[in-house]
Amino acid sequence: MSFRGGYLTPRETEIWSLRRRTPNQSEIARALGVTRQAVHISLGIITGKMEQTFQECLDANNLHPRKINLVEGVMEAYSPAYQLPVIVSLSVANGLRVWYLYEGRCNRCDLERGCRRALLGEAQERGVELGPEEVRLEPTRLALKIFSRYLTEEHTVEKKE
């Protein structure tokens, strides 16, 4: 997997995916047939690569970080340029994605279908169950539903014309 700049090897991706499901390094080591120390070393390398990826995203998008969860691959940030909260996600399904939390005119945007597809992939990968009504939410509200457990505060969605 690549975070399109994230640099994880396929083995590191496998370790990171297992780490998201269990915090126990011994269990990860058993599942992979390696030592716990090998897992520990790999997680240190993975953490460094993910920190670099998030920092590059912050720099490229002129964002201010609020909270970073490296285990889950989610960062809460703020965009001073747009005066909006932002969620940045790293996933096997989608690589690196930046979600600006405003209520736009998604139904008139040619990217709406792609955003929805990416968000549904995020939900599936993160084990977030969505009901039939939630699947039809506009992308900003869908993103808030999927990532709400990682956010430090309640976010309101701002209208942008």
Per-domain residue ranges of the chain: 10-159
Using CA atoms, how far apart are residues 147 and 18, in angstroms rounded to an integer? Answer: 19
* 161 or 127: which leads in pLDDT: 127
pLDDT band at 4 (very low <50, low <70, confident <90, very high): very low
Cβ burial, residue 98 (10 Å; 0-12/13-18/19+): middle
Q: Which of 87, 42, 84, 81 is nearest to 67 (CA)?
A: 87
Mean pLDDT, residues 34-63: 95
pTM of the model: 0.85
